[in-house]
Structure 1
Amino acid sequence: MNDQVLVLGGTGEARRLAAALVARGVDVLSSLAGRVADPALPEGAVRIGGFGGAEGLAAWLAEHRPRAVVDATHPFAATITASAATAAAAQRTPLLRLQRPGWTPQPGDEWRFVDSLTEAARAVAGFRSVFLTTGRQGVGAFAELPGRVLVRSVDPPDEPLPAGATLLLARGPFSLADELALLREHAVDVVVTKDSGGHMTEAKLTAARELGIPVVLVRRPPLPPGVPTVATVEEALAWVERSEVRPPAAGGGPRR
């Protein structure tokens, strides 16, 4: 086993964790999926590109044998989170899930939670002007919406847009003033987003509250069972410091 910590990243929490680990002298490798054209890079070593599913990640863990893995990917990156759980269990590699809390409704909010993008599309089918902020993946679920649709994402979606769509390419954080102006400019009467949590894109929810606009939120996918989960970078740092010793490998004594 080497002393390296593998951080599955792509989020602000992952970047802050990598920076804190580097500052402590920890050998950290951040892995980015490569789905964003110009990602914000963390401190320390970086690899870009997937591992090839759970089998590929398990093979990588077997070859490199890091001290621990921290899955700090997006709350909706369900595939890599499931792969990390399967691969880490197979290789007896300590695994932690770092996931920021979801958003909490405030007085005045009119929120409706749904379980999928398809449900969200059905929920907003009767509205005149939809603000869609669910990322570039899954936009095709809204392709049949009849009204105006403002689609905001970091990179261009790779699925068909609704006929009445306006595409806005932008990366947060977004200010409350800008979100209010955007909702008014496009006469938005419903907002659709995922329950991503965090402050970088929260202003749209505050703007919707102030303007009396309803919000449809897609619930997060469930986490794999048995994986310890923390909500803050500080908790993740403390866990890494406790991960010095790896559990014994299946079938016998320690690996050499």
Structure 2
Amino acid sequence: MPVHVLVLGGTTEARRLAEVLHTHPDLRVTSSLAGRVAAPRLPPGEVRIGGFGGADGMARWLREHAVDAVIDATHPFAERISFNAAGAAATTHVPLLALRRPGWVPGEGDDWRQVDSLAEAARAVQEAGTGRRAFLTTGRMGLASFAHIDDAHFLVRSVDAPEPPCPPHMELLLDRGPFTLAGERDVLARHRIDILVTKDSGGAATAPKLTAAREAGVPVVVVRRPPTPGGVPEAATVAEAAAWIQARSGATASG
């Protein structure tokens, strides 16, 4: 029987990993997506959409579908599913690996203000002064943290339109990465952005905005990553995650 691998994701790395593993006949790959995006990019292989019902629900799903290994390739800020995965893996004794892209590191010329939450990011925008034009790239789910700010204009970029509450002075930019440096330079200049707000998502797909901000002298408010479950082995790349599966299945996985 093929080794059944459950990939928790929706990220670029999760899709790439599913593509790599799907080429091996001795592996069965199921990708699980949260369902927060209306039209997600579907990876090859089997796909399930929606939550599991907590750690206990995920444990039941692992047993019912005879899962042999789980790879948590979710977004770095999807902390709830990561803790649920750790709990389910511990309950069922199914091996678990976390595929976590490295976080961003400020370089020479960067003007970063690092905070621990969206609420702190909102305060940083207010403290920067009235009349700011903020480029908000934290996703559509956390806009309530900025909804009370009425003395700044927000350019909000997200894949899908957000639901209220939203900032009163807001322009919506519907777009999906990866983004280019030229494109990010254009966004900052065209919208006269003077402060950027982002989460430390890491990876290359959305990093060009940081370079564009550095070049333009635009300060960046960076929300630090939330804590992750302890005791879970980690991989930094798709190739490392594929090799981890290879060691358990005998498949020649690379990428």
TM-score when normalising by structure 2 = 0.93
Name the amino acid aligned to 1:8: L
1:132-182 deviations in whole A, cap 9, x for unaligned?
000011111001122111111111112311111111111011111121111
User: 1:12 — aligned with what?
Assistant: 12
Secondary structure of 2:94's aligned partner: coil
User: 1:38 — aligned with what?
Assistant: 39
For the 8 Å contact 1:137–1:159, the answer to whether it is kept is: no
Q: Distance in 2 between matches of 1:242 and 1:109?
A: 41
CA gap 1:2/1:83 in 2 versus in 1, 3 angstroms:
farther
For the 8 Å contact 2:198–2:222, the answer to whether it is kept is: yes
User: 1:21 — aligned with what?
Assistant: 21
Aligned-residue identity in percent: 61
CA gap 1:113/1:218 in 2 versus in 1, 3 angstroms:
same
- Is residue 160 of structure 2 the alignment partner of residue 155 of structure 1? yes
Q: Distance in 1 between matches of 2:48 and 2:229?
A: 24
Provide the aligned length of Structure 1 versus Structure 2.
Answer: 245
- Is residue 213 of structure 2 the alignment partner of residue 212 of structure 1? no
How does 1:1-256 map onto structure 2 within 5 Å? Answer: 3-25=3-25, 26-125=27-126, 126-127=129-130, 128-145=132-149, 146-244=151-249
For the 8 Å contact 1:94–1:243, the answer to whether it is kept is: no
TM-score when normalising by structure 1 = 0.92
For the 8 Å contact 1:2–1:64, the answer to whether it is kept is: no
Secondary structure of 2:85's aligned partner: helix
Q: Distance in 2 between matches of 1:31 and 1:185?
A: 38
Runs of 4+ in structure 1 displaced over 3 angstroms? none
Secondary structure of 1:119's aligned partner: helix
Secondary structure of 1:113's aligned partner: strand
> How far did 1:224 drift?
0.2
User: 1:249 — aligned with what?
Assistant: none
Mean alpha-carbon deviation: is it higher for 140-149 or for 209-218? 140-149
> How far did 1:7 drift?
0.5
Q: Distance in 1 between matches of 2:9 and 2:154?
A: 30
Q: Distance in 1 between matches of 2:186 and 2:133?
A: 15
User: Gaps (5+ residues) in structure 1?
Assistant: 246-256
Name the amino acid aligned to 2:141: Q
